Copies of this chain bind each other. A is one copy, B any other.
Amino acid sequence: MQPSPPPAPSSNASQQRRSWWGWGTEDKALPDAECTALGALLPGSAATPLSVPRIASLTLPEVRVTPPSALAHLMSAAPRDRAAHTYGKAYRDVARALHGDLAAAPDQVAFPVTEQDVVDVLDWAAGADVAVVPYGAGSSVVGGVEYRNTDRDADRHTDRYRGVVSLDLSGLERVLEIDRVSRAARIQAGALGPALEGQLRPHGLTLRHFPQSFEFSTLGGWLATRAGGHYATLHTHIDDLVESLRVVTPSGVNESLRLPGSGAGPSPDRLFLGSEGTLGVITEAWMRLQDRPRHKASASVLFGDFTAATDAVRAIAQSGLYPANCRLLDPGEAALAGVAREGQSLLVLGVESAHGPVDDRLAELVTLARDHGGSLAPATRGADDTDAAGTWRSAFLRMPYLRDALARMSVITETFETACTWDRVPQLYEAVRRELGAVAHKVTGADAMINCRFTHVYPDGPAPYFTVIAPGRRGEEVAMWDEIKSAAMQILGDHGATVTHHHAVGRDHRPGYDRQRPEPFALALRAAKHALDPAGILNPGVLFDPGSR
């Protein structure tokens, strides 16, 4: 065991001020002129961007609860803190923020800096009937960090809870311990991706969990939501990288044994992974690390036919070759990213190893793709930013900012991701394009752009990720989005596809989740919830309806 150094200085990006209403940092948001230019590409969108409300002009609901004096130093009811912790970053969150709708703002934002602070906040909240919404860095796109009164007719003063606290874990950001021999580290849950990797880098180690939200999400958030990461195959979810968890529950601190594997009863960690803050607050985890990769290779393969491309991906997923990257862009997605000609699909393959050369493995993968009708895209080797894969990757990290710009132009965008077995893929792909296209047309009066990529692939099926873009009517964006979202969930359910592969359930996916979750398991989970959180204060409305008093 070696002590870890203090947190590395934040990167330039995270030193910039975080946006309270939209993705990432304020400096990266598109200026008005670019929003307008972007909107002009989409017939039917608004002519001018919605302006971003100034904090000072926001109407925030009155503060109903104040912390006891012992906790006052951890809490803030400052308008900027409350506004920034009202929502996650789903489209409907951004749309509501842009329209100045902050009715769901928490009364207080708590900023614990120690685990004991977390315990103290929960103790107080349980006694005071205050709901607690755990908050990592707020990148939820499923309503996971927003308090929502399930009784829509009730006003704030007839609510089930006397108040709401957003529990911001970002003060717990240290790598506490490193076991170089076992390649594992004990890391606090509030560490953002770059801070975490920055503290591991001096040891030659990496977690290599790179979700799209990497810069603006935390280890604890990844764990609580079963986030999908860097790897397109094998260790796709953060779940597999967990050695043990430490979770503060209202019924005590739950710490599992550090183990490389075990068969002693149902896995304790698997109950908390995906519990989305409803069973406890994850404060630390021992995470499995890797040596930094020294060998990397990538290639991009074009297909004239999406079906052939799907077959190629299936063959690759079933080959046992386990590429680190295996992302398939359908023709619409590839065209949008500017990496393929009309009608072509693009498959981005990547292999990496800390151990030895990977070129042979890449060649095998490319051969498999060619056997299914693919052809190597031009300039597919070389520096990441000069090839098709690199182009797409840069666009990937820019996408949420573009989504926000479109939101300012009242363009509805919805992304939803799923997974299903291979036998269902053609029907699902077709149904989303046809049926969801029809719904989007009915709702918006325009033809929606509906694209798809496979972000992760398994031997028994892919994780398709759909994007729907259509011009909305100003002031009606949220209602229109809700209608499209509801239809999307229905289609997934109809085709045996999960309501989410790696974006979590939150509040937005509840209808689909409630249909998908087996009823006996629901009984068991509710019973577990009641045992761990008898006062029912933890993230009410996520996964379950809040229990009665």
**Interface of A with B (CB < 8 Å)?**
1, 179, 181-184, 225-228, 234, 236-237, 243, 247, 249, 251-268, 270-276, 279-280, 288, 290-291, 314, 318-322, 353-356, 360, 364, 419-423, 456, 458-463, 496-505, 509, 513, 516-521, 523-528, 530-532, 543
Contacts and interface: CB of A to CB of B under 8 A. Distances in A.
A274 B265 contact: yes
A314 B532 CA distance: 38
Which 7 A-B pairs have CB atoms at the shortest separation, nearest pair first? A260-B461, A260-B458, A524-B528, A270-B270, A527-B531, A226-B263, A527-B527
Given A252-B520, A267-B270, A518-B268, A261 B275 contact: no
B321 A420 contact: no
Main secondary structure of the interface of A (DSSP, over half): loop
Given A354-B320, A460-B260, A520 B276 contact: no
A530 B526 CA distance: 11
Contacts of A353: 320
A182 B354 contact: no
A320 B355 contact: yes
B520 A258 contact: no
A259 to B, nearest CB: 5
A511 B523 CA distance: 28
A276 B264 CA distance: 10
A288 B526 contact: no
Nearest to A352: B320
A254 B520 CA distance: 6
Taking the full assembly, how many copies of this chain does it contain? 2
A290 B526 CA distance: 36
A263 B141 CA distance: 13
A500 B530 CA distance: 29
A284 B423 CA distance: 20
B460 A521 contact: no
A497 B261 CA distance: 10
Given A183-B460, A265-B505, A528-B527, A420 B518 contact: no
Given A261-B237, A264-B516, A318-B291, A182 B521 contact: no
A543 B517 CA distance: 25
A9 to B, nearest CB: 29
Contacts of A279: 524
Contact of A271 (B255, B266, B458): B266
A136 to B, nearest CB: 15
B423 A264 contact: no
Given A263-B502, A266-B272, A243 B184 contact: no
A136 B181 CA distance: 40
Contacts of A314: 181
A211 B349 CA distance: 35
Nearest to A243: B460
Contacts of A181: 314, 421-423
Contacts of A280: 520
A249 B520 contact: yes
Contacts of A249: 520
Contacts of A251: 520, 523
